[in-house]
Structure 1
Amino acid sequence: MYAIVDIETTGGKYNEEGITEIAIYKFDGHTVVDQFISLINPEREIQPFVVNLTGINNQMLRNAPKFYEVAKRIVEITEDCIIVAHNAKFDYRILKTEFKRLGFGYKRKTLCTVELSKRLIPGQDSYSLGKLSRSLGIPVSDRHRASGDAQATIKLFKMLLHKDLEKFIIKDAIRIESKSQIAPNLKHIIDALPNTTGIYYIHNEEGEIIYIGKSKNIKNRISQHFTNTSPKSKKIQRQAAAVTFEKTGSELIALLKESEEIKRNKPLFNRALRRNIFSHALYSFTDEAGYLNLKLDKATDENAITTFTTKQSGKQFLFKATEAFNLCQKLTGLYPTTSNCFNYTIKTCNGACLKEEAPETYNERVRQLISKYNYANKNMLIIDHGRDIDERSIVYIKNGVFVGLGHFNLNYQITNIEVLESIITPMENNRDAQHIIQSYLRRHKNIKIISL
């Protein structure tokens, strides 16, 4: 659990500042579950430059509660939470100073979104909350007011959690929880999970990820893990101490993140999925007569049109593609013969097998197939469902290379390529990712694609 905090102060000498406004949002990594927002009477003058910056003046704070009147509420809402703030050293120092004045030792673990942003979103011109939010397409209202800045920090932190492919933020959070907080039984873990599409992470008591999976229904999938009687499931059940998850909205995003994060984190019980599992691929070559031929073969690291988990699934695709693009069975390798193919006999092949159709005409249809199922040299965005109704997911292909993925708010149009590349979580362009994207596009013909 996290407490997203933003504090406005009077300004002044170091450790002599007073709080003028505080906003705390208790955040479970997905939604805000509690909040506390209040002006505070600092019992001291506000520096003029701070009044100009925040708009908060002494008159506004005359009847506001003093810090000791809200201290109990602050302790309660941040209990067992990691404090998250933009420049956390400042906000945490101010809180500790105010509690010290009351004779109370206030201690919490902290996370700084400035430091996390530098690690997970490198290369930004500025890491101030305002400029970073603009570069990432994060809307900010009431800048330099506690609630507005805290809400922007929540959106930034959600993006950072999404970009944290190694999951060091989540693993550390689970590791520091007391064992009494970790769910004592598997049913309690299941009850806290959503019926949504996303990635799930099963952790042991040390916070280490022992299994990563994806599902269209996370709760149902974890229920299967915890009720299955296979040897592997029983081992997972014995070691499971907590389950975290990340909503993706899109199954494509979930598939890509699952593949990437298993390779990065190497969970104990994901050994079978660490290797490439796509065994066959479709290739093209030009024969001596100038016709483009298609060939289903074992997958290599060479450029393929598309890839398949089995030879049979590749053949099924080829049969459908041959019919859809009016291709020759002989030139697609489906009908080995020295004469004409079967489709020529039933007059559904134009005769490329007997060189009756001009290579140029035939090859144009083959290229249409290749273009549809292969994104080589293309610049495009694949737009799919988001985590919320006002959001969409995005997969970015640049010069035929899978660059990464992310989410964007529908109220913020992605027209600036620099903003686009900032919100994208970089991913490895390996054969598995290529297969996942190509396979998804084959199965979802109506998915939105924007060419850049």
Structure 2
Amino acid sequence: MYAILDIETTGGKYNEEGITEIAIYRFDGHKIVDQFISLINPERSIQPFVVNLTGINNEMLRNAPKFYEVAKRIIEITDGAVVVAHNAQFDNRILTTEFDRLGYDFEKDTLCTVELSKKLIPGKDSYSLGKLTRSLGIPISDRHRAQGDALATVALFKMLLARDTAKEIIQKMVRKDPKRQLEPKLLDLIENAPTETGVYYMHRSDGTIIYIGKSKNIKKRLIQHFTNDNRKSKKIQLEVADVTFEKTGSELIALLKESEEIKRNKPIYNRALRRTLFQYQLSSFTDEKGYINLRIDKADSRKKAVTTFTNYQQAKSTLYRITETHQLCQKLTGLYETKTSCFLHSIKECHGACIEKESTEEYNARVKVFLENNSYANKHMLIIDKGRDIDERSAILIENGKYIGFGFFSLNYQINNPEVLKSIITPMQDNRDSQHIIQSYLRKNKGLKVVNLAPDTVD
């Protein structure tokens, strides 16, 4: 199954582009079986040259859905499919970046019709979509619009499939692993790695740790490290002599261990994670009229945060969901600047707190439900997750709103008995990064079991 797509963007700095339009055709190798086409509000301005190229302007996107509103549909239509695009590296990077902003790991195998065309239809003057399709007699309408370009890519891909009679190139071009050969030492390190979740440590021959990482599949992640052609990966490939690992079962524990141990060991190739993980936070305050307001602020350790975010886009997307889920007012969540009523009130989805039509008691009650469910300040609780084996579970202990540590247990009495509980918990550092990791993980994994503890349980 293939998901053949085209994306139009705002243009701008690398990895700061936003999607303005997307078209995806689910293709079974013979016919289109599903499709999704939509304009997207990128929540940022479109570069003038892009407006001239595509005809898509800021006004057209004002009422278009935001990416987080269509993300579920994109996941559904691409599920179990290989992503196909003309210059797939670009489209896949843009999609992956948008999902990263939502805290979702969007990982797909890809096929690039530019590369396939060069292999199967050599000798063309140009492999741009417009010139290539014209030379092949493939009709293309609405050039530089997602639907037109995606449909042309579907027709091109059908032709490429027909030309690939041995099916060898199609199989080789799927980006599961790069094609180059690995050194024997790297193959040995991959062979000895587990496929489970955990933290891994790369060592030089003298034992020095040069890189620490976490993965839900350590073997798969090492393959990525050892087959990547970027500058850092090449240096690691030359220097690594051994890889050790610790299974955690729980991805949350792996994230927490990775963060703390990078700060403690300061590996030479972990420069990015030595810095703080979050840049923005959600704060709350009561205005002069008595309504509880929510605001996105730059991260500040001096200010109390409800929760924290890696970037502004993630914060804003999350706040839109919070506003919708709890029927809050866009004016009081800082999403709609106005001196009168907010946009949601105009479509009867806000009860009127923005114009004091709804009482502070009724409005604040809903805000407090959100604050209670999404902040573990002053809370005593255990977060129960997967263990390292099928009959084991993991537990992360929060005491007085602080991260105390984690442990593993196989019998429930171990977490119900205060003395035993204290003995199985490995102490860890509580800091803003660990709080950010825990809060982000809880946001993404709503089904996690959380056990509330009495305040004196862990004293």
- TM-score, with structure 2 as normaliser: 0.58
Q: 1:412: Cα distance to partner? A: 4.7
Q: Distance in 2 between matches of 1:322 and 1:426?
A: 36
1:186 corresponds to 2:186? yes
Q: 1:429: Cα distance to partner? A: 1.2
2:363 maps to 362
Cα-to-partner distance string for 1:28-68 (whole Å, 9 max, x where unaligned): xxxxxxxxxxxxxxxxxxxxxxxxxxxxxxxxxxxxxxxxx
Runs ≥4 in structure 1, deviation > 4 angstroms?
Answer: none
Q: 1:404: Cα distance to partner? A: 0.8
1:307 maps to 308
2:221 match: secondary structure: helix
2:293 maps to 293
In the alignment of these two chains, the number of paired residues is 270
Q: Distance in 1 between matches of 2:321 and 2:416?
A: 37
1:319 corresponds to 2:320? yes
Q: 1:411: Cα distance to partner? A: 6.1
1:294 match: secondary structure: strand
Q: 1:252: Cα distance to partner? A: 0.5
Q: 1:185: Cα distance to partner? A: 0.9
1:230 maps to 230
**Residue pair 2:209, 2:265 contacting (<8 A) in 1 also:** yes
1:381 corresponds to 2:386? no
Q: Distance in 1 between matches of 2:412 and 2:312?
A: 44
Structure 2 alignment gaps of length 5 or more: 1-182, 454-459
1:247 corresponds to 2:247? yes
2:351 maps to 350
2:415 match: secondary structure: coil
Larger radius of gyration: 1
Give 2:298's aligned amino acid.
Answer: K
Q: 1:277: Cα distance to partner? A: 2.3
Give 1:167-178 correspondences, 5 Å limit.
none
1:276 maps to 276
Q: 1:261: Cα distance to partner? A: 0.6
Give 1:338's aligned amino acid.
Answer: K
2:414 match: secondary structure: coil
Q: Distance in 2 between matches of 1:433 and 1:263?
A: 12
1:256 maps to 256
Give 1:434's aligned amino acid.
Answer: Q
Q: Distance in 2 between matches of 1:449 and 1:280?
A: 25
**Residue pair 2:331, 2:337 contacting (<8 A) in 1 also:** yes
Give 1:130-141 correspondences, 5 Å limit.
none
**Residue pair 2:196, 2:217 contacting (<8 A) in 1 also:** yes
1:414 match: secondary structure: helix
Give 1:428's aligned amino acid.
Answer: Q
Cα-to-partner distance string for 1:228-251 (whole Å, 9 max, x where unaligned): 111111111111110011111111
Q: 1:284: Cα distance to partner? A: 0.3
1:112 maps to none
Give 1:106-185 correspondences, 5 Å limit.
185=185
**Residue pair 2:295, 2:333 contacting (<8 A) in 1 also:** yes
Aligned Cα root-mean-square deviation (Å): 1.2
**Residue pair 1:278, 1:435 contacting (<8 A) in 2 also:** yes
Q: Distance in 2 between matches of 1:303 and 1:427?
A: 22
2:420 match: secondary structure: helix
Percent of pairs with identical residues:
61
1:413 match: secondary structure: helix
Q: Distance in 2 between matches of 1:259 and 1:197?
A: 15
Q: Distance in 2 between matches of 1:240 and 1:312?
A: 36
Structure 1 alignment gaps of length 5 or more: 1-182
Give 1:223's aligned amino acid.
Answer: I
Q: 1:226: Cα distance to partner? A: 1.0
- TM-score, with structure 1 as normaliser: 0.59
Q: Distance in 2 between matches of 1:250 and 1:293?
A: 35
1:413 corresponds to 2:410? no
Give 2:426's aligned amino acid.
Answer: T
2:395 match: secondary structure: strand
1:202 maps to 202
2:199 match: secondary structure: strand
Cα-to-partner distance string for 1:153-175 (whole Å, 9 max, x where unaligned): xxxxxxxxxxxxxxxxxxxxxxx
**Residue pair 2:277, 2:436 contacting (<8 A) in 1 also:** no
1:215 maps to 215
